Structure 1
Amino acid sequence: MLEELLQGNQIFLACGSTDFRKAVDGLSAIVSSQFKLDPFSKSIFLFCNKNKDKLKALIWDENGFILIYKRLEKGKFQWPMSPCEARLINQQELRWLLEGLSIDQPKVFRKLHISDVY
């Protein structure tokens, strides 16, 4: 199911912790007012709680919002804690995050653009 939702969507990670009492309306308000992004865009917005063991994903799906909730039974997400920042990540970084790894892998080859080569 997650792979289907990722198709064509940008993935934004809300750095820092989010009050998990917030549901769709509260999370979409954070997206629009704090991050100045459109919650109705073709994007996935990810949020993490203070203990870094719960994750929420907010996705607009043509006629309503989808809210996905994940709770880890053991362990913590390696969540970036820079407050008040929305960070664009790719699908590989999302996989790392969901597997318990940091999205800032120090030895990963980054994709180069032609302008970086010449």
Structure 2
Amino acid sequence: MLAPATRIYLVAGVTDMRKSIDGLAHIVADSLEMDPFNDAWYIFCNRQRDKLKILFWDSNGFWLYYRRLEKGRFKWPAPNTAGHIYITKQQLQWLLSGLQLEHPRAHQPLFGLEM
């Protein structure tokens, strides 16, 4: 059974898709200053925005998913100063479906509510 993601991060900017598990884990550790062995999913995109790689650790080894679009492009956000963008599982579904992360008709999550 695959480990469910508790956090999902898009790695801002472009990534060389020739990188494999070790190269991508190195980006997570050195560029993002995050632990690639935690329970997060890290998503990388190429310059043409037609390829994605998803890297995550699962108990005793890494998983690496690869997706290549035959037509169209992923709606990849612009890079930011943090080097990564936290997204929700719903936003990941939107991204994989060809939609923008900020879907204008979606309900926005609410945090810090008090009764």
What is the TM-score when the length of structure 1 is the normalising length?
Answer: 0.86
Partner Cα distance (1:6, 1:94) in 2: 16
Distance in 1, matches of 2:14 and 2:5, equals 26
- Which residues in structure 2 correspond to 1:59-70 (within 5 Å)? 59-70=56-67
CA RMSD of the aligned region, Å?
A: 1.9
Please state which structure has a larger fraction of its residues in helix.
Answer: 1
On the 8 A contact 1:17/1:83 being kept in 2, the answer is: no
Alignment of 1:41-52 (within 5 A): 41-52=38-49
Question: 1:8 Cα shift?
Answer: 4.5
Q: Which residue of 2 aligns with 1:53?
A: 50
What 5-or-longer segments of structure 1 have no aligned partner?
none
2:95 corresponds to which residue?
Answer: 97
| Percent of aligned positions that are identical | 43
Question: Gaps spanning 5+ residues in structure 2: where?
Answer: none
- Measured after TM superposition, the shift of residue 6 of structure 1 is 6.2
* TM-score w.r.t. length of structure 2: 0.89
Distance in 1, matches of 2:64 and 2:5, equals 18
Q: Which of residues 12, 18, 22 is equivalent to 1:21?
A: 18
Equivalent residue letter for 1:90: T
Q: Partner residue of 1:111? A: 109
Question: Number of matched residues?
Answer: 114
Match of 1:10 in 2: 7
Q: Give the structure 1 partner of residue 72 of structure 2.
A: 75
